[in-house]
């Protein structure tokens, strides 16, 4: 390298650590469209274009937030037996469990099917918006920590499958009809998965720490 | 949290989940009353009922998600934790761990299924679905396995994360 940056060693002599399995990798200059992957666990450690998909993550997270509204406002299914019928939203199940004396279960369903997706998508879109607009807004670090903490709580795909199973199961008890709510839940689940795929966590971490 | 604390916490959560696995699978999770007939179902009972009504693919999905997944998770978590700190089959352990975190949430299908069924069962004497205490054990067991796999990080499988010199 030139004398200008002689204080820092050239990048192909530096060692970097894989964030996932902590293996040491030799750093190097990347060609356009190239990735540096960990030889041990396969994690993508460095990209030639860090944060390239952040804007897509923002878009998918916003879209998922929007589809969450009809997913919670529309009934998942309508069940009828001998003339009386009942519409069934996500929140109806929470109420049902709560009234039967199973408050912890009701709270769990409320958290994992309603609250966690909202918080997760809000923080993903907040962090990726900060990066895309290159603005340093307050609570960026807190939002990123929330993204990490809620990672195991991505339960909407499971809820979507549970809706389908319940329709099939209820068919033996009475008349069931599909309602658009479950399709909205499915759409939110797919959009959330796309947002997770596009969200570049390593890039966000570096940005939050202040290293650009 | 240090690696040792994470290991200890993961071990405690796994042991708790193994203990909870027994009441979660042997106590009824719900009671269904339909036109006068009362029926208490365990997790496995719900699967058998689906199977008996000829809904085999759905029965298989629920069986995999709520019976096989927790069992596989507990067995492989115990295996991972018993080999903690050793050099034996580290890359296989890494693959198993990645698989565990991917399948982990599917067991929640039973809790969601219950919440949808409970909501439906509010049609008075015609049809009612009542949650039972087994569901509580089941949910706590699932949360324990979820966090047992989550607090144990991939890098803790490898004993020497950094070379001693360049
Ligand atoms: Zn790695």
In this prediction the ipTM stands at 0.87
**pLDDT attached to residue A6:** 45
Tokens of A182: 């479950």
From chain A, the residues in CB contact with B41 under 8 A are: none
**pLDDT attached to residue A211:** 55
End-to-end CA distance of chain A: 22
DSSP B62-93: HHIIIIIHHHHHHHHHHHHHHTTTS-TTHHHH
- Reported as a pLDDT band with limits 50, 70 and 90, residue A94 is very high
Separation between Cα atoms, residue B112 and residue B108, nearest integer Å: 6
Instruction: Give me the residues of A, 19-38, that contact B with CB < 8 A.
Output: 20-24
Ligand 1 centroid to Cα of residue A158, in Å, is 29
Which residues are paired to A47 by β-bridges? A35
- Tell how far CA A70 is from the center of its chain: 18
Which residues are paired to A25 by β-bridges? A16
Ligand 1 centroid to Cα of residue A211, in Å, is 22
Separation between Cα atoms, residue B156 and residue B166, nearest integer Å: 22
Query: What is the CB-side half-sphere exposure of residue A127 using CA atoms within 13 A?
Result: 32
Ligand 1 centroid to Cα of residue B155, in Å, is 8
Question: How many CB atoms are located within 10 Å of the residue A159 CB?
Answer: 29
Q: List phi, psi (to 5°) of A45.
A: -90, -35
Q: Which of B43, B55, B119 is most worth mutating to test chain A (most A CB atoms within 10 A of its CB)?
A: B119
Structural contact between residues A145 and A139, judged by C-beta atoms closer than 8 angstroms = no
Most confident of A28-37, A178-187, B70-79: B70-79
Q: List phi, psi (to 5°) of A84.
A: -95, 145
A9: pLDDT strictly greater than 60 = no
A122: pLDDT strictly greater than 50 = yes
Tokens of A210: 């202040």
Average pLDDT, integer, range A135-154: 89
Pairs of CB atoms within 8 A across A/B: 146
Q: Does any CB of chain B come closer than 8 Å to the CB of residue A78?
A: no
A77-81/A84-88 β-pairing: antiparallel
Separation between Cα atoms, residue A53 and residue A181, nearest integer Å: 30
- Return the domain boundaries, chain A: 14-48, 50-208
Judged by CB atoms closer than 8 Å, whether chains meet at A152 and B101 is answered as: yes
Ligand 1 centroid to Cα of residue B120, in Å, is 47
- Taking Cα atoms as reference points, which of A56, A95, A90 lies closest to residue A203? A56
pLDDT tens-digit readout, A10-25 = 556 788 888 888 888 8
- Reported as a pLDDT band with limits 50, 70 and 90, residue A138 is confident
- Tell how far CA A88 is from the center of its chain: 25
Question: How many CB atoms are located within 10 Å of the residue A138 CB?
Answer: 8
pLDDT tens-digit readout, B87-128 = 888 889 999 999 998 888 888 998 999 998 888 766 665 678
Can you give the pLDDT of all 166 residues of chain B as single tens digits? Answer: 788 899 999 999 999 999 999 999 999 999 888 777 888 889 888 888 888 887 888 889 889 988 999 999 999 999 999 998 888 888 899 999 999 988 888 889 989 999 988 887 666 656 788 899 999 999 999 999 999 999 998 888 886 544 444 3
Tally the residues of chain A.
Answer: 212
Most confident of A23-27, A139-143, A169-173: A139-143
Average pLDDT, integer, range A138-154: 90
**pLDDT attached to residue B24:** 93
Separation between Cα atoms, residue A203 and residue A52, nearest integer Å: 10
């Amino acid at each position: 390298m030139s004398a200008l940056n002689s204080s820092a060693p050239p990048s192909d002599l530096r060692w970097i650590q894989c964030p996932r399995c902590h293996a040491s990798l030799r750093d190097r200059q990347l060609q356009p469209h190239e990735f540096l992957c960990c030889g041990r666990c396969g994690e993508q450690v460095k990209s030639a274009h860090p944060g390239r998909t952040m804007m897509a993550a923002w878009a998918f997270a916003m879209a998922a937030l929007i589809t969450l509204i009809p997913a919670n406002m529309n009934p998942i299914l309508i069940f009828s037996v001998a003339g009386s019928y009942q519409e069934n939203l996500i929140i109806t199940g929470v109420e049902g469990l709560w009234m039967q004396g199973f408050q912890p279960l009701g709270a769990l369903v409320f958290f994992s099917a309603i609250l966690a997706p909202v918080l997760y998508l809000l923080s993903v879109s907040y962090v990726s918006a900060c990066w895309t607009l290159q603005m340093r807004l307050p609570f960026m670090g807190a939002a990123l920590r929330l993204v990490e903490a809620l990672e195991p709580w991505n339960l909407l795909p499971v809820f979507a499958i549970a809706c389908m199973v319940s329709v099939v199961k209820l068919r033996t008890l009475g008349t069931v009809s599909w309602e658009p709510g479950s399709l909205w839940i499915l759409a939110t689940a797919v959009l959330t998965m796309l947002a997770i795929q596009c969200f570049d966590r390593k890039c966000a971490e570096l940005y939050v720490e202040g290293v650009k | 949290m240090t690696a040792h604390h994470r290991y200890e916490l993961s071990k405690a959560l796994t042991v708790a989940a193994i203990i909870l696995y027994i009441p979660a699978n042997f106590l009824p999770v719900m009671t269904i009353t339909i036109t006068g007939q009362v029926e208490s179902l365990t997790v496995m009972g719900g699967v058998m009922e689906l199977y008996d009504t000829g809904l085999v693919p759905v029965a298989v999905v629920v069986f995999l998600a709520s019976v096989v997944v927790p069992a596989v998770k507990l067995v492989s978590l115990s295996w991972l934790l018993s080999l903690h700190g050793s050099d034996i089959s580290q890359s296989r352990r890494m693959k198993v761990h990645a698989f565990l975190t991917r399948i982990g949430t599917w067991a929640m299908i039973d809790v969601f299924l219950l919440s949808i069924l409970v909501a439906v069962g509010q049609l008075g004497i015609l049809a009612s679905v009542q949650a039972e205490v087994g569901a509580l054990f089941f949910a706590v067991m699932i949360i324990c396995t979820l966090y047992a796999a989550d607090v144990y990080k991939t890098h803790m499988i490898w004993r020497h994360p950094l070379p001693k010199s360049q």
